[in-house]
Structure 1
Amino acid sequence: MGRTATVAVSTLNQWAMDFDGNSKRIFQSIQEAREAGATYRSGPELEICGYSCEDHFYEPDTLLHSWEVLAELLRSNLCENILVDVGMPVMHKNVTYNCRVAFLNHKILLIRPKMQLCDDGNYRESRWFSPWTKERTVEDYFLPRMIGQITGQSLVPFGDAVISTRDTCIGFEICEELWNPASNHIPMAYDGVEIIANGSGSHFELRKAYVTYDLVKSASFKAGGCYMFSNLRGCDGTRLYFNGGSCIAVNGKILNRGQQFALEDVEVTFATFDLEEIRCYRNSVRSRSHTAAKAQPYPRVKVDFALTTDNLIWDPPDRFIECDNCFADKKYHSDHQHWEKKLYCPPEEEISLAPACWLWDYLRRSGQGGFFLPLSGGIDSSATACLVYSMCCLVIRAVVAGDCQVLADLRRIIGDPKYDPKSPEKLCNIILVTCYMGTENSSIDTRSRAANLASEIGSYHLSIGIDTAVTAILGIFQQVTKFSPKFRVQGGSPRENLALQNIQARLRMIIAYLFAQLMLWVRGRPGGLLVLGSGNADESLRGYFTKYDCSSADINPIGGISKDDLKKFLEFFRQSYGITALNSILEAQPTAELEPLHEDGVVAQLDEIDMGMTYKELGTFGRLRKQNCAGPFSMFCKLVYMWDNCTPKEVADKVKHFYRCYAINRHKMTVLTPSCHAETYSPDDNRFDHRPFLYNHTWKWQFNAIDNQVKQMIDEKWTRQPRRVTVAPEYKHGGPKPFNSLVYPGVVV
C-alpha cells in the first residue's frame, strides 16, 4: 500500500495558429503541475496549434510550427522528471493524424494518433485528419531532423500503444473516443492500463455539461482506474466556446475538477491517489477480472520512470490543502467545497457565463476597444446588454483575484496602462456604448426601457432619432420613380409595407457602424467598437429579420439561443444582479416597431402575430427539424399528437406555414452574423446546419402527403388514443424536457 501518484490535467485557453501564445500557456501549465508535485501532466486536444485551425491543417507550415513548439518543450529543463503529453497534428506516411505526443526527459516515448474522429454537429475532423484504424499496432515513425538532434532519436513508436512505467501503465483516449460506444478505455483497462488520459476539445452547449462528467465518472466506475480529462477553454477563433471543466476521476468518483466558465488562460487541476485502490477495486469486480484474463495485449512502451514516490505519505506544497480525500489549491478552495453538490450550472446561469466569456476572448483578441449595441428595449437586445455586463463582472472578479493577464488585456483594450477597474458599472461605461435608434413608429415605452436598463448596467447610452435619414432615402426613391410607398394601415400593398419597414431596419445597421467606428474618437480613446447583433435562434430559423439590418453585426452573442431560454436567462439575471429595469422588459410583448403606432401611441405590430406562430411553436419546429431530422410530413405526424389542442387541419396549416417561411427566408442564413453556439437546433448554416438555401417553397410533394394524411384522419373519424415514445434525448439534472411523440396505428412516422 501507499503507492500514491499525483497527476495533473490542464485547462488552456488556446488560440488557433497562435503558436507563440499557445506555447507559453503550455509551459505555464507544466510549471504549475510541477509546483503541485505532479509527475504526469496531460493537456487538451491539439493544444500546440489550437483546435480550430480548420483548413490551416492542410498547410505544411502548421505541421512545421507544431514541431518547432515541441522542440522548445523537449529542450526545456522545465520538462525534466515529469511525464508530459501534448496535442498536435502529425503527418505519418503522407497522412495527417490528430495526435498525442508523450515525452520524458528530452525523449519522445510515443505518438498516439486519434482513432475515432468527430464529424457531427460543429465538427468536421475527417476533412483534415484520418483515423488510425490499426488497433493495437505500432509502426516506426521517422522523426524530423530538428527533433532528432534534441532527443538523439531517429525512430519512435507511432500507433495504438500504452506506456508502461516502473509502477503503473498509462493509456490514451482523444476526445471523441470517450463518447464513442466502443470506447478505448474498456479494452485498455482489461489489459491493465491504470491511468487513461483524454486530451479533449469539447465545446459548450446548453445542458451538455453533465454529460461530460457522467461519461468520465462512468468510464472510471465501470472499468476502474484513473481517468484524466483535459479540455480547452474559451473562444479560439470560431463560433464555439470551449468550456473547460477538466477533471480527474478514480473508480467512479471525481476527485478534482477545474472551473467550467472562467477567464483564466491557464488552470491546472491535480489529484493524488493510491494506485493500490485501483487494483483492489478492479480485482473485487469478478466479472471484470474474468474478462480481463483473456484480454488481447496492447503494445507497451517501457520507460524507466515511476509516477509514485518512495515515500508512503505524500507531502503537498504549502499552497494546497486536503479537501474531501483529495488536495485542492487554496485559491479555489471555497469553490471546491461546493462543486460536488453543483457539478454544472442550470441553463440560465450557463447563458450568463458562456457567451460572456466568449465575448471577452473575442474582444481582447480582435484588437478593438469595446462594443456598440443598438438597444431597442426588447428582450433580445436587453439580453445582449446583460451579457456584456456579465462579462464586465467576470473581468472585475478576475482582476480582484489577482489575474495579471486579464488586467493587462483590459488596460490594452482601454488604452490606459494604469487603468484600475473599480466596478462592473464603471467598466461597462467604458466598454459598452448602447444606442436607442427611434423613429416615428417607436413607442415611449421602449425608449424608456432601454434608457433604464442602460442606467442600471452603466453603459454609455445614446438616444437618437433616425427619421431624417428615412425621409432622405425615401426622397431619393420618390425623385426617381415618382411613386410614394405607403404602410399597410395607410392603404399600401404588402410590398410597400415591407419595404418601408426594411428601410428603417437597414438604416439602423448603417448608423450602428458609423457610431461604432467614431464613438471612441469622440470620447478621446483610440480604436473602434465591435458592433453586436441581437437576433435569437428562433427568429433566424423563421427568417424573421431584415437581411443586412442591425442583426448584421460583427458578432452576435445570443444568435444561438432560443427566445424561451433568453426569457429564463433574463429572469435569472434580474434576481441574481438585482436589475429592476428587466421587470418591464420581460412583461412587454415582443415587437419590431417598424409600422405606425395606433392613434393613442400603443404599439400596433407584434412579433408573434407578424410571424404567424408563437416563439414556443418555433422552438418545437426547430428541435424536430434539427434534432429529430423531421421533414414536413414526419413533423406533421409527430405534432398532430403532441398538439392535442389543435385539429389535424390546424396542425397541417401550421407546419406548412413554417416550411414556406423557412424556405423563402433560408437565404438569410448565408449572411447570418457569427454567434456563440448554444442550442442544439441552431439554424446557422455556416457551420452547424448544412442545408440548401434555395428551396421550392411550395413543397408540393411533401404538402400533398400531409393533405392526404389529414383526409385519411377525417375519413376514419380519427381520435386520440396515445402511447408515448421518446423522440429526442431525455436530459436529466435540469436539462431540457424530452419531446414525446404520440404514435398511433394508421399513421406512418
Structure 2
Amino acid sequence: MSKLRIAGATLNQTPLAWENNLNNIREAINDAIDKGVDILCLPELCITGYGCEDVFLSEWLYTKAMECLLEAKSYCKNITVAIGLPVKHEGLSYNATCMIRNEQILGFYAKQNMAGDGVHYEPRWFTPWKSGTVDKIIIEGDEYKFGDIIFEIEGVKIGFEICEDAWREVRPACRLFEQKVNLILNPSASHFAFEKTRLREKLVVDSSKNFHCTYVYANLLGNEAGRMVYDGEILIARYGTLIKRNEWLSYKHMQLQFADVDFGNEDETYAAPDEWPRDKNTEFVKASSLALFDYLRKSRSKGFVLSLSGGADSSSIAVLVAEMVRRGVEELGAEDFIKKTGISTLQVGDTSDHPSVIKQLVSQILTCAYQGTVNSSEATFQSAKELAESIGATFYSWLIDEEVNSYTQKIEKALNRPLTWETDDIALQNIQARSRSPIIWMLANIENALLLTTSNRSEADVGYATMDGDTSGSIAPIAAVDKHFIITWLRWAERNLGYTALNYVNNLQPSAELRPLAQEQTDEADLMPYPVIVEIEKLAIRDRKSPVEVYHALNAVKLESSELLKAHITKFFRLWSRNQWKRERTAPAFHLDDFNVDPRTWCRFPILSSGFETELRELNELD
C-alpha cells in the first residue's frame, strides 16, 4: 500500500450562501493541492451548510446543491476530495458525501444514522441509508454508485462515517473493520458544547485503535446559522494515537491539517500534536466571542448596542465583545479583521499597535448605555462606566425616571389610586425594566446595530426577567449558561484576561436594582441561592427528574436543610411551569452547554400545564 498525505479541512459556511461556500471549498482544495495532499476530507453538508432547517424539504435545494457539486468537481485536479451535500435519490432525501478523484465522481456515501436528539432534527429532513446496501444514481446521464460504499485509492481501502454514524454503538466502522478498511473519513457538523472536544478526541482516537485504521475527522467551523457554534476541529488518529490536531474555534474561514501516512508500515511513529487550553472558562470565551463575530458579520450589522447595568450579566457580554475584537485582531490582523466584519466605516490608526487598535475598534463596534433610576446605585454606575472605558466602548448614561413616572401617573389616574410597593411590587419593578427597552432599541436602530439581550439561563428557568425589558434584543449571548457560572467566570476573566475593571462588578451582590435602595434587593433573596438553582436545574431539566426524585438526590448530598430544600424545589418547579411563555419569546441564544432551555432547540414544555401540582404535593408530604 502507498504512502499518502491525508488531510481534513474545516470551513466556516453559511446556509444557502452558495458563492461563499464554494469559495471556501475551492480555497481548501487549492491549499491541499499546493501542500501535496492526496486525500482531503471536507465537513458534512459543506455545500449547502448544515443549518438549512426546513429548506431541506424544498426540491430546488437538491438541484442547486448538485449544480454546486459539479462546479466543485472541476477544482479537484490531481487530488481526491470528499465533499458533503444533500442528495435526492428516488424521491427521498439523503445526507451524503461525494468522493471525487481528479475531477471525476467516484460515488456517494449516504449517512446511515440521523441525529434526532437534543438540538438535532435530521430525521425531519433526511432518510437514513440502510447499512450494506448499494444502489445506482444517474447524474447528467452518468451512473454512479450510491449508498454504503467502500472506495479504494492506490491500494488503500477508504470508508466513511458521517458525524452521527460514529456516535452509535452499532456503527458503520464495525463493518468497515470487517472489510479491512485502512482509512475512515468522518465529515462532520458536530456542534460545540462544554467539554465535548475531549469526548470527540476520545471518539476519534478510540476509533482508530478499535478498528485498526487511520481515522480523519473534519468538522464545520463557527456560528453557521445563528444558534449552533462549530469548533472546527480537525483530528487525525492512527492505531490509537492522535497524530494531528488543529487550533480550534478559529476566526479563519478555512483551516487545513494533514499527515503523511505510510499505509504499508504499521510501526510508523509520529510527534505528539500541539495541545490547547480546554478548560470551561476558556471554552466559554473562545466559543462565545467567535459566535458573536460570525453573527455580527453574517447578519450584516454595523455593531452591537448593550444596556450596561454594571451587573454581572451585561458586564460579561461587554467583555465577550471586547474579546471578540481582541482575538480576531490577534489571529487575523487588524486589516483582515476589519475587512471580514463587512463594516466599511471602521477606521483605525497605526495597525501595529494592537492594544490601541483593539480599543479603537471596540469603540466603533460596541455602544453601551447605563440607564439609571432613583433605585440605581452609585456602585453599579461606576461598575458600568469603568468597564466601558477600560475596554474602549462608547458609553452613554441617562436617567429614565421621567418615563417611569409618566407611565405610573397614567395608571394611577386611570385606577384613581396611588401605586405602592406594598400592593404593586411587581408592576413597579417591571415598568422600570420596560422603560429602558424603547430608548435602547432606538439607539440600536440608529446605529444599524444588534441589541444584545442580557438574560441568562437561570433567569429563564424561573422567569426572573421582564418581558420586553431586559429580555429585549436581537441575540442573547449568555442565555445558554447559568448565573452561577457567569459570576465565577467574571472573576476568572479579571484574573486571567486582564480586565481589572471587573473588580467593581465582582465586589457587588447581583441585584436587579428595581426596588428602593433602602430595601437592599438582591437576586438570591428574591429567588434562592444561584448554586441551588444550578443543582435543581441539572436534575429537573437536564435529567428530567420529578420533584421527589430531585429532592432525594439533593437531600442525600446535604445541599441544604431538608425543609429549605423542599421549599426551593417547590419554588423552582412552580416558577418553571408558570414562565414557559417567557422562554418561548426570548431572543435566539448560542448553544454552549450540553443542554439549554430554549424551546426552539433543546427543551420543549407546555405553555399551560398543571404546574406539577400533584408531584409537588407528594414532595411536601414527605417526612
TM over 0.5: yes
SS at match of 1:398: helix
SS at match of 1:79: coil
SS at match of 1:142: strand
CA distance in 1, matches of 2:273, 2:149: 38
Report what 2:315 is aligned to.
Answer: 382
Superposed CA offset, 1:469-504 (max 9, x none): 1111122223333232112xxxx21xx111011111
**CA gap 1:644/1:505 in 2 versus in 1, 3 angstroms:** closer
- 1:576 partnered with 2:489: no
- 1:638 partnered with 2:572: no
- 1:537 partnered with 2:457: yes
Report what 1:428 is aligned to.
Answer: 362
Shift of 1:277: 3.0
Aligned Cα root-mean-square deviation (Å): 1.9
Q: Find the partner of 2:290 among 357, 361, 364.
A: 357
Report what 1:259 is aligned to.
Answer: 247
Confirm or deny: 8 A CA contact 2:251 2:332 kept in the other structure: no
1:208-219 matches, cutoff 5 A: 208-219=196-207
**CA gap 1:644/1:534 in 2 versus in 1, 3 angstroms:** closer
Superposed CA offset, 1:571-625 (max 9, x none): 2221233222112211211000000111xxxx611001111x1111111111112
1:315-330 matches, cutoff 5 A: 325=270
SS at match of 1:581: helix
Report what 1:236 is aligned to.
Answer: 224
Q: Find the partner of 1:89 among 81, 86, 89.
A: 86
Report what 1:126 is aligned to.
Answer: 123
Report what 2:487 is aligned to.
Answer: 567
CA distance in 2, matches of 1:434, 1:607: 23
CA distance in 2, matches of 1:33, 1:255: 18
Q: Find the partner of 2:339 among 408, 427, 434.
A: 408
Q: Find the partner of 1:691 among 594, 599, 605.
A: 605
Tell me whether 425-434 or 564-573 shows the greater mean CA deviation. 564-573
**Equivalent position amino acid for 1:118 in 2:** A
CA distance in 2, matches of 1:129, 1:203: 18
Q: Find the partner of 1:339 among 262, 268, 274.
A: 274
**CA gap 1:417/1:386 in 2 versus in 1, 3 angstroms:** closer
Superposed CA offset, 1:1-39 (max 9, x none): 9x4210110100000111110011001000011111111
Tell me, which stretches of 5 or more residues in structure 1 are unaligned?
282-323, 327-336, 521-527, 712-749
- 1:484 partnered with 2:472: no
Report what 2:70 is aligned to.
Answer: 71
Shift of 1:569: 2.0
- 1:112 partnered with 2:42: no
CA distance in 2, matches of 1:534, 1:570: 15
Q: Find the partner of 1:139 among 116, 121, 135.
A: 135
Report what 2:178 is aligned to.
Answer: 190
Shift of 1:432: 0.3
Report what 1:308 is aligned to.
Answer: none
CA distance in 2, matches of 1:670, 1:66: 33
CA distance in 2, matches of 1:346, 1:568: 13
Superposed CA offset, 1:663-698 (max 9, x none): 11121001011111112342111211112122223x
**CA gap 1:592/1:644 in 2 versus in 1, 3 angstroms:** closer
CA distance in 1, matches of 2:604, 2:20: 33
Superposed CA offset, 1:174-212 (max 9, x none): 001111111222321231110100010011111211000
CA distance in 1, matches of 2:595, 2:27: 38
CA distance in 2, matches of 1:34, 1:567: 48
SS at match of 1:97: strand
- 1:707 partnered with 2:620: yes
Q: Find the partner of 2:208 among 202, 207, 220.
A: 220
Tell me whether 246-255 or 35-44 shows the greater mean CA deviation. 246-255
1:15-54 matches, cutoff 5 A: 15-54=14-53
**Equivalent position amino acid for 1:197 in 2:** L
CA distance in 2, matches of 1:685, 1:586: 32
Report what 1:298 is aligned to.
Answer: none
Q: Find the partner of 2:433 among 505, 514, 519.
A: 505
Report what 1:608 is aligned to.
Answer: 524
CA distance in 1, matches of 2:348, 2:617: 69
CA distance in 1, matches of 2:227, 2:192: 10
CA distance in 2, matches of 1:106, 1:33: 15
Confirm or deny: 8 A CA contact 1:435 1:463 kept in the other structure: yes
SS at match of 2:88: strand
Q: Find the partner of 1:622 among 531, 537, 546.
A: 537
Report what 1:660 is aligned to.
Answer: 574
CA distance in 2, matches of 1:675, 1:161: 39
Report what 1:672 is aligned to.
Answer: 586
Report what 1:287 is aligned to.
Answer: none
Structure with the greater alpha carbon radius of gyration: 1
Shift of 1:167: 1.8
Confirm or deny: 8 A CA contact 2:349 2:357 kept in the other structure: no
CA distance in 2, matches of 1:507, 1:451: 21
SS at match of 1:474: helix
**CA gap 1:420/1:45 in 2 versus in 1, 3 angstroms:** farther
Spell out structure 1 runs of 4+ moving beyond 6 A.
Answer: 417-420
**CA gap 1:137/1:256 in 2 versus in 1, 3 angstroms:** same
Report what 1:204 is aligned to.
Answer: 192
Confirm or deny: 8 A CA contact 1:264 1:403 kept in the other structure: no
Q: Find the partner of 1:547 among 440, 464, 467.
A: 467
SS at match of 2:619: helix
CA distance in 2, matches of 1:515, 1:591: 25
Confirm or deny: 8 A CA contact 1:539 1:545 kept in the other structure: yes
Tell me, which stretches of 5 or more residues in structure 2 are unaligned?
none
**Equivalent position amino acid for 1:707 in 2:** N
CA distance in 1, matches of 2:9, 2:511: 46
Percent of aligned positions that are identical: 30
Superposed CA offset, 1:276-297 (max 9, x none): 234x69xxxxxxxxxxxxxxxx
Confirm or deny: 8 A CA contact 1:537 1:682 kept in the other structure: yes
Report what 1:314 is aligned to.
Answer: none
CA distance in 2, matches of 1:253, 1:364: 38
User: Matched residue pairs, number?
Assistant: 619
CA distance in 1, matches of 2:617, 2:152: 65
SS at match of 1:187: helix
CA distance in 1, matches of 2:559, 2:51: 45
Shift of 1:44: 0.5
CA distance in 2, matches of 1:240, 1:164: 35
Confirm or deny: 8 A CA contact 1:170 1:194 kept in the other structure: yes
- 1:4 partnered with 2:3: yes
Shift of 1:552: 1.8
CA distance in 1, matches of 2:134, 2:162: 17
CA distance in 2, matches of 1:505, 1:695: 28
Confirm or deny: 8 A CA contact 2:346 2:361 kept in the other structure: no
Tell me whether 425-434 or 635-644 shows the greater mean CA deviation. 635-644
CA distance in 2, matches of 1:655, 1:347: 27
Confirm or deny: 8 A CA contact 1:219 1:252 kept in the other structure: yes
Confirm or deny: 8 A CA contact 1:623 1:681 kept in the other structure: no
CA distance in 2, matches of 1:644, 1:378: 27
